[in-house]
Amino acid sequence: MLRLRAVQVVALLAVFAAPPPAAAQDAEPLTQNGCILAGDMVLTARSLAVEKVEREHAGRIMAHIYGGLVEKYPEMLPVRDKTLALAYARAEPPRDLARLVATACMRSGGDQGAMFGTRIKWHPQRPGLRL
């Protein structure tokens, strides 16, 4: 339980320390700050998955952590939901997956398809991004 709270505190600090993303439509590319926040969301979601938190409960935790951000910037709602789905579908360690998503986002100019689609590839023998 203590480890879970530590993850929540780190996630909250990262959200409030980063400037908010510029307002954009749901499918529009994310800004650099949006990419960083998406990486942070993946870090939180993957950490919950690694701790074997039930996905539905993890969704409620993510809503508590990122609720204020999503309320202010509704374009981040699908990002939050997609990061949760991705985190429970992948096997990479939390920091590696977060770095992979944030890097894919920035390299693709914020293209959410590149972040959450099948174009994200992880190669354990050669850590890094391959689009």
d(Cα 50, Cα 103) in Å, to the nearest integer? 21
Residue 39, CB-side half-sphere exposure with 13 Å CA sphere: 20
Are the CB atoms for 129 and 103 separated by under 8 Å? yes
> What mean pLDDT, rounded, does the chain reach?
75
Distance of CA 130 to the CA centre of its chain: 18
Predicted structure pTM score: 0.68
d(Cα 47, Cα 93) in Å, to the nearest integer? 8
The identity of residue 43, as a single letter, is L
The tens digit of pLDDT for each residue in 34-45 reads 888 889 999 999
The tens digit of pLDDT for each residue in 80-128 reads 888 999 999 999 999 999 998 888 888 888 887 767 764 444 444 444 4
Q: What percentage of the chain reaches a pLDDT higher than 90?
A: 34
* Tokens, residue 81: 């939901």
